[in-house]
Every structure is written in structure tokens, then in C-alpha cells.
Amino acid sequence: MKEGVMTMETFRSRLDTMRGQVANKFDNVSRLKLGVGVLVILLAGAGVYFLWPSKPSQAQQQAAAQPATVVTVVQAKVVKLAPKLALPGTVVARSDSKLASEVEGKVAWVAEVGTSVNEGDVVARLDNLVLGMQLAQQKANVARLAASSRFNRDQAGRMQKLFSSNAIAQSQRDQAVSTRDMTNAELAQADAQLKQTQYQYDHSEIRAPFPGRIAARLINAGEYATPGKDIVRLVDIGSIEVKTQSPIDTARFLHEGMIVPVEIEDRQIQATVRAIVPVGDELSRTIEVRLTLKPGDALVGDAAKVLAPASEPKSVLAVPRDALILREDSTYIFKVSPKSEALRVAVETGSEDRGMVEVKGQIAAGDRVVVQGGERLEAGQKVAPKGA
């Protein structure tokens, strides 16, 4: 065979090699097209997944299915409030006395602890048997001297007439006048002794100077009482007030007749400033303040916290205290959206006065806030507001 001439076997071999290369190229192209197709399908599916409306959650479905909850709302508003300074105080009675005996004698009876008495009621009684006998004796003595005084007065008058007619000597007239005057003096002395004994007899019964309750018996029946000896402690529980000490520099924000909130046993009540004693203590630099409470607001001896103003009032955004929902980790309120949905808003509280509390958060004046029915609300829940 001549050089340069391709044999049949060589030609077939090269042809098979070329076929294999072509087949590999077509196979790679097919795989590439398949991969691109799968990627397109996946991207299309993801777009459909994210763009297709999601199915509402079970909580949202339940909230939408439930009827609108009726709640009471008010509008948040701007009011003038002052920062508060907590002053410790004590509930006291305006009238709290230890009643003492004015006379001496054996104690016959003492009222029981807890007894309610009115003004003038007997709370203790001393044995007055001896005083009674002395009183009877002195009454008889006064009667005797009164009769003698009348006789001596008439006798002196007769002697004066006889002396005027020169029937008797002047000494006889003077004797009659002296006897009359001495008898009158003895009568006055006896009458004074009678009144003293009568006073002791009357005050052998110790009476209540004001209405109240017996808080303590300081002596018992059978013991001997002397003048000034304490018998019972009487407390007027119908007239109570809070006694506290206010720093001099903040007392100027208080004035008599002012309404001030007071906390007693986790209850906040309103008290009226009755008196501000304008005499400061040179050691503590405080002055005494008395605030009147209503009967039954507290017990005598209760601890109190007076929320006194610490500065002049300023304008702040406030809501009623009932609108606040207090939790361990936060404080929040519910406000009602224009679509009548409950929106939960976290707030920070500040000054407080007469049931209004300063709040800071995503809330504005005029917003409707829930004051009743918010304890079980959920964010986004439909509500039926009433009130504001």
C-alpha cells in the first residue's frame, strides 16, 4: 500500500472516535438543559409559595371566629400632674386619751375593753359609800347653819331697832351683828365643803369626755385609785387622720384643704390636708402634716404612705389607673384602632394623682384605651368599644 493512503480500518476507527466525541457533547448539553429546567421549576414553585396567600394560624382563625369583645374605653388626655414623694406616716385618732381618776377610792367597776361609749357615758366607777355618808352629814350641817343664820339675821335686826330707841346698849347691838356675821361665814364654809364632797361624789364615776371605744383597762376592780391614776384608754375611732413628717423644702407644695393620695395596706385612698404645723424640727428639717381620713378608711396604728407632691404640676399624657395591665416583666395598655381591633402598647408610668397615671409610649392624646375588659384581650382581637 502506498504511503499517505488511509486504509479502511483506520478510517473506521477515526469515525468511531468522532461519533463518541459527538455523543459526549450532546449528552453534556442535555444534562445542562435538564439542570436549567429543574432550576426554573424550583424557582417558579418558590415564587408561587411565597406569593400565594398564607393560611391563617389557628389563633388568628379563632380570634376571627370569636365575636367582638365588649370593652369600656376612655380617651387618653393631657392633664397636670406633679411628681410624688412618698412620706411614711401613721394613722392616729384625733382624740386618744388615758382617762384618770380625780378622786381616791377603791375601784368598783371598769368597762370592758372594746366597749363603745358615747360622750358622758360611765367608763369606770369608784366605791362612793363613804362619800355618800359624808355628803349626807354635810347637807344636814348646812341646813342647821342656814336656820341659825336666819335667826341671827332677824335678831340683829331687832337689836338695831332697840338700839335706835336707846333701849339697849351699843355693845348688845354689836354682839347681835357679830353673831349674825359669824353664822353666815360658817354657813358659807359648810356650803363650800358640801360642794367639794358633792364634786368628789359625782366624780367617783369616770365619764367619757368624747365618743369612742375602750382600748385598754389600766386598772382593775378592787384596786385603789388615787387622783391622777390612769383608769382606761379611750380612743375616738370615728375621727382618724394620718400623721406624717414632710421635708421643709417640699412642704411648700402642700396647703390645707388639698386632696392627697394615701396608700394604706395596698389600698389608695384620698385624704384631705387638715393642718400643716409651721414649726420645723431642727435635726430632721421636717414639719408635721395631718391629713383627715373618713371613718372606716383605716385602723388606728396602721402604717400609711402619703404621696405628697414634690414639685409644681406639669402637663403630661395620662390614662386612668384601671387601663394599666401590670405584669412582672412589663406594663402595657390596650388601645382601640380605627378598625376596632385591640392594639397592645407597652408603656412606662410616671406621676399619679386621683386615679390618673402618666404614661410614656406609642400613645397619643385622644387615643381610646381600654379600662374594663382588657385583662383577657389578645393583640389584634376584635372589640366592641363603649364609653368614649
pLDDT in tens, 242-300: 999 999 998 999 999 999 989 999 898 999 999 999 998 889 999 999 999 999 999 99
More confident residue, 38 or 89: 89
Kindly state the average pLDDT of the residues 79-91.
91
Q: What is the mean pLDDT of the chain?
A: 85
In 3D space, the residue among 210, 220, 200, 236 whose CA is nearest the CA of residue 124 turns out to be: 220
pLDDT of residue 40: 42
pLDDT of residue 216: 97
Q: Judge whether 123 and 207 are in contact, CB under 8 Å.
A: yes
- CA 179 from centre of chain: 74
pLDDT of residue 139: 95
Give the residue carrying C-alpha cell 477515526: 14
Q: Indicate the range of 42-56, 58-72, 153-167 predicted with least confidence.
A: 42-56
216 and 117 in a common domain: yes
| DSSP β-ladder status, 69-75 and 383-387 | parallel
CATH number at residue 152: 1.10.287
CATH number at residue 375: 2.40.420.20
pLDDT of residue 48: 37
pTM of the shown model: 0.63
pLDDT of residue 272: 95
pLDDT of residue 47: 46
360 and 246 in a common domain: no
Last residue of a domain, one of 146, 179, 203: 203
| CA 117-121-123 angle, 5° bins | 80
169 and 64 in a common domain: no
Residue 9 lies in a domain: no
Query: How many angstroms separate the Cα of 233 from the Cα of each of 204, 219, 238, 242?
Result: 17, 10, 15, 20
222 and 104 in a common domain: yes
pLDDT of residue 9: 60
Question: CB neighbours (10 Å) of residue 87?
Answer: 21
Instruction: Tell me which residue range forms the domain holding 220.
Output: 97-123+211-236
Grid coordinates representing 168 are: 339697849
Q: Indicate the range of 19-28, 85-94, 242-251 predicted with least confidence.
A: 19-28
Last residue of a domain, one of 288, 312, 336: 312
Residue 28 lies in a domain: no
68 and 190 in a common domain: no
pLDDT of residue 385: 86
d(CA 133, CA 127): 12
pLDDT of residue 43: 44
pLDDT of residue 330: 85
355 and 248 in a common domain: no
Q: Judge whether 270 and 307 are in contact, CB under 8 Å.
A: no
pLDDT of residue 34: 43
232 and 103 in a common domain: yes
Residue 384 lies in a domain: yes
pLDDT of residue 27: 53
Q: What percent of the chain has pLDDT over 90?
A: 59
Q: Residue 53 — very low, low, confident or very high, per pLDDT cuts 50/70/90? A: very low
Domain count, the chain: 4
Q: Residue 20 — very low, low, confident or very high, per pLDDT cuts 50/70/90? A: low
pLDDT of residue 386: 85
d(CA 192, CA 184): 12
247 and 231 in a common domain: no
Helix (H) or strand (E) holding 314: strand 314-320
pLDDT digits (tens, 9 = 90+) for 104-128: 999 999 999 999 999 999 999 999 9
383 and 319 in a common domain: yes
243 and 231 in a common domain: no
d(CA 334, CA 363): 10
More confident residue, 4 or 259: 259
Query: How many angstroms separate the Cα of 171 from the Cα of each of 157, 159, 163?
Result: 14, 10, 9
pLDDT of residue 42: 47
pLDDT of residue 329: 83
Question: CB neighbours (10 Å) of residue 22?
Answer: 10
Kindly state the average pLDDT of the residues 79-87.
89
Q: Residue 100 — very low, low, confident or very high, per pLDDT cuts 50/70/90? A: very high
320 and 386 in a common domain: yes
d(CA 179, CA 159): 12
CATH number at residue 286: 2.40.30.170
Query: Is the model's pLDDT at 146 over the cut of 50?
Result: yes
